Amino acid sequence: MRRWKSAMLVTALTCGLVATPVYADPTVDELQKDKAEAQSEVNSLQQELTELISKISELEGDLINKGQEITQAEIDLGEAQEQEEEQYHAMKLRIKFMYEEGDASVIETLFSAENFSDLVNKAEYVQNVHSYDRKMLEEYVKIKQQVQDLKTTLETELSNLEALQTEFEAQKDKLDYTIETKKSEISNLDEQLQIAVQKAAEEQRRREEAERRRREEEERQAAARQNESAPSTNRPASNPESANNPGASPAPSSTPSSGGTTSGTSGGSVSKGNTATAQAIVNAAYSQLGVPYVWGGSTPGVGLDCSGLVQYCHSVAGISLPHYSESQYAGGTKVSSPEPGDICWKPGHVGIYIGNGQMIEAQQTGTNIMISPVRAQGFVRYW
């Protein structure tokens, strides 16, 4: 009975055991292969990101040009409207004059003709006056409609370009996230690779040490056998252990040397240059708060886009800049720690840094120039 119970207990314990799979650590070669593949993906993504940033920059130029075309169309439309109004009022004045005179002026003009030929000429003149008025008014109305249609078309094109810009920026954000994720993966693989290399080195040292001891043991045994097989009369009266190299000393243990602690030195501070100039840039930026965002806008107090705002603020300080964010970024001195008056840049966008992690920017269509948290990938200085 006891044997039966013991057998049942052993069976229950055996069935209750859960098999846990054991996975071997990845080898150095496998980790190096994984890292190379991940790095290749990062390189490919970086190339894709570079091309996308180039498209964003080109698109900014298209948006600026389109905005300027719309501004010009609005000016042309206003002029056509004024000409139409002027011609309309001129017609009303002539009609009013003829009405008040009871058409006497027209009749007198006709009856004052000296002969039939003169009558025909004067009749044609009266008719031409009316025809001219109608023609000019119709022409101005037509021109106004053409300009209005052009403005509508340009606004539609601008809207499409803005939608494309939003799409590009969303793609860029996704690429940035993917690249950072891959870089984190590579960093993790680097750590694993370092551990695997250390383990492999330690394993190699253990094998070499075991092999050394094995050879020493074989040599001792061979020496002992040789001493035992030698004739007793010729055997020297000495300890067999002396056959081993008495002068050999144990291998010195390797003691790692303590290297001096190195500390990185911070880079030299960037000269702040003319702080009065920087203050003038910041003051100019504050003066434009609330001004509407206008693509291609370069008129302070009326309408500015992001690079137009930066261009204006620097012009107040006596610094000439192009109306294009990429050129503004490329032409300045790159700085890692921004100061008020510096330009905050990211692909396709710029603003003026005002301190405390904030900038003044013309953000996008439908908004006014505002203060917002810094969104930048780089900073440049012109002062």
User: What is the rounded (10 degree) CA torsion for 95, 99, 101, 107?
Assistant: 80
**Catalytic residue at 130?**
no
Q: Which residues contact 373 (CB under 8 A, 6 or more apart)?
A: 357, 358, 359
**Among this protein's residues, is 15 annotated catalytic?**
no
- Beta-strand relationship, 303-304 and 343-346: unpaired
Active site residue 349: yes
**Rg of the chain on CA atoms, in Å:** 45
Instruction: Burial-class residue 158 by CB neighbours within 10 Å (0-12, 13-18, 19+).
Output: buried
Closest CA to 364 of 171, 161, 71: 161
**Which position among 60, 69, 323, 349 bears the catalytic label?**
349
- Could you say which of 306, 314, 323, 339 is catalytic? 306
Please give the positions annotated as active site.
306, 349, 361
